[in-house]
A = this chain, B = another copy of it.
Amino acid sequence: MPTPHYGQPRYRVIAGELRARIDACLIESGSLLPTEGALMAEFKASRGTIRHALALLRDEGLIETEHGRGTIVRPPQNLNRSAASEMIRQSQKTPATPTVAKLLEIKPGDLVEEEEIVVRQSGKVQKVIQSYRPAE
C-alpha cells in the first residue's frame, strides 16, 4: 500500500481521536492511556506514527509519559488550556491599509510584513489576529 495522506496526516487524526476521548472524559484523568502497542493495533498504525500523535498531545499538556510505566492523562490543571486551541499562522508581504500605514508612518500601499494567526477551538474559529511590521 502506498502512503497517500489525503487531508490530515494520520498522526494528527489519531491525536484528534484521542483528544476527543480525553475531552469527553472517556478516559479518566490520572489513569493510563492504552499502551503504544495497543494503539498500534487499534489504529493499525506503526509505532512511529502513534508516538508522533502522542507527542502532539504531550506538547499540548494533555498527557504525560513515564519511561517504562505508561502514559497518563493529566488532570485538567488550568482552564485556559491555551495550547489546546489550534493556531494556524502564516506570514506574507502585503500592501498597507490606510490605517496601518498611518500608524507605521509609511505611505498607504507600501509593502508591509503581515502575520496572520487564526485561532480555532473545537473546530470553530474564535479569533483572527493580524499584525503588521514595516517590510525590510
Contacts and interface: CB of A to CB of B under 8 A. Distances in A.
Q: How many copies does the complex hold?
A: 2
Given A103-B118, A118-B103, A130 B129 contact: yes
Contacts of A105: 125
A103 B119 CA distance: 10
Contact of A126 (B129, B130, B133): B133
11 contacts: A100-B130, A103-B118, A103-B128, A104-B128, A105-B125, A127-B133, A128-B131, A129-B129, A129-B130, A129-B131, A130-B131
A7 to B, nearest CB: 16
**Which of A118, A127, A128 counts the most B-chain CB atoms under 10 A from its CB?**
A128
